[in-house]
Amino acid sequence: MAEHVHLRRSRIEDFLSTFLGDWRRDDPWDSLESLLRHRAPIRCLILLDEVPLYIDQVARRDVARATEDLRRLDRFRTHPAARVLLTGSISLRAVARQLDLSLSADWNQQALEPLDPTDGIALFMDRCPGACAEVAADHAQRLAGGNPRWILRLAQLVTSTDREIGIDEVEQAVSRLLDQQPFGQDIGHLSRHPEHGRLRATLELASIEGATEISILAGLQSRGCTRGDAQALLEILRDEFFLDGSARLRLPLLARWLARRS
């Protein structure tokens, strides 16, 4: 039997503090190992939220500690007394790559990818305040790049009318969204990323009509990036579903927002 420990909006430090008290006097991973030993023979199911972001934030202060935390976490996840589920709004593989580490091949990592068009259309039509034309719902999900968060946000901003909601109403919702300052501050974790400036420059280059991976790399190199750093920036944005495999923007809403501020 697994004992489920539900942690709401917690970080690794919160988890350790809850169960171990003043764990900071000791190595946190050794303390967690001790906790599992004392709870034997009960197998614990441990849920840790925003682990990649935690490792990323630690790395800004202490790369060596972040590297060791990630290595210990890699070993801890196979502990016989525990099953570990990690969640996060950013890619753990991308964070590991920034630390010049690679995760073990047996990590079972599941990415929540953008919705396919059929599901995106259905979601928008279901959440609209009134009857909606399918062509309008398709327009909305394309602008949102299949991202359910922005599909839902656009649906919330559509003004109900006495007639069927069409593309004009969707475009009005887009204007309301882009007028809201938080949109630019809330496009994922990028605003908190140590490479925020160069990531935004990469997105700006990708938003130029006709942009290709070659032109983006050239643009970044002209701004002082090495080719290796430029390629790493592209990989981060691919991991976060801002760019597709061909380095095209997957979120047209973002392209419009960037164009307004260029």
Alpha carbon distances (Å) from 51 to 9, 167, 230, 252 = 12, 40, 25, 29
Average pLDDT along the chain: 80
Give the helix/strand (H/E) hosting 5.
strand 2-5
Q: What is the DSSP letter of 31?
A: H
Report CA torsion sign: 137, 128, 118, 86: positive
Least confident range of 143-152, 190-199, 208-217: 190-199
Q: What is the mean pLDDT of residues 183-192?
A: 59
pTM, entire model: 0.63
Instruction: Answer with the residue of higher pLDDT: 170 or 246.
Output: 170
Burial environment of residue 137 by CB neighbours within 10 A (0 to 12, 13 to 18, 19 or more): buried
Q: What confidence score (pLDDT) does residue 10 get?
A: 46
Least confident range of 39-43, 45-49, 210-214, 215-219: 39-43
Please name the residue ranges forming H helices in the chain: 12-20, 28-38, 51-61, 63-76, 92-98, 117-127, 134-143, 148-157, 167-179, 182-185, 196-206, 213-222, 227-239, 252-260
Q: In what order do the strands lie in the sheet with 43-49?
A: 2-5, 43-49, 82-87
Q: What is the DSSP letter of 94?
A: H
Largest distance between two CA atoms of the chain: 65
What pLDDT, in 10s, does the model give residues 49-106?
888 878 887 887 888 888 888 888 887 778 888 788 888 767 787 788 778 877 776 7
Instruction: Answer with the residue of higher pLDDT: 3 or 151.
Output: 151
Q: What confidence score (pLDDT) does residue 11 get?
A: 54
Domains parsed from the chain with CATH numbers? 2-98 (no CATH), 117-180 (1.10.8), 185-260 (1.10.10)
Q: What is the mean pLDDT of residues 135-142?
A: 97
- Distance between CA atoms of 66 and 72, rounded to whole angstroms? 10
Share of the chain above pLDDT 90, in %: 28
Amino acid present at 213? E
At 5, is the pLDDT very low, low, confident or very high (cuts 50, 70, 90)?
very low
Q: What confidence score (pLDDT) does residue 45 get?
A: 79
Question: Is the Cβ–Cβ distance between 153 and 207 less than 8 Å?
Answer: no
**Is the confidence at residue 139, as pLDDT, over 60?**
yes
Least confident range of 116-125, 185-194, 231-240: 185-194
Nearest to 198 by CA among 231, 176, 170: 231
Share of the chain above pLDDT 70, in %: 81
Burial environment of residue 226 by CB neighbours within 10 A (0 to 12, 13 to 18, 19 or more): exposed
**Is the confidence at residue 7, as pLDDT, over 70?**
no
**Is the confidence at residue 133, as pLDDT, over 90?**
yes
The SS3 assignment for 156 reads: helix
DSSP code per residue over 213-236: HHHHHHHHHHTT--HHHHHHHHHH
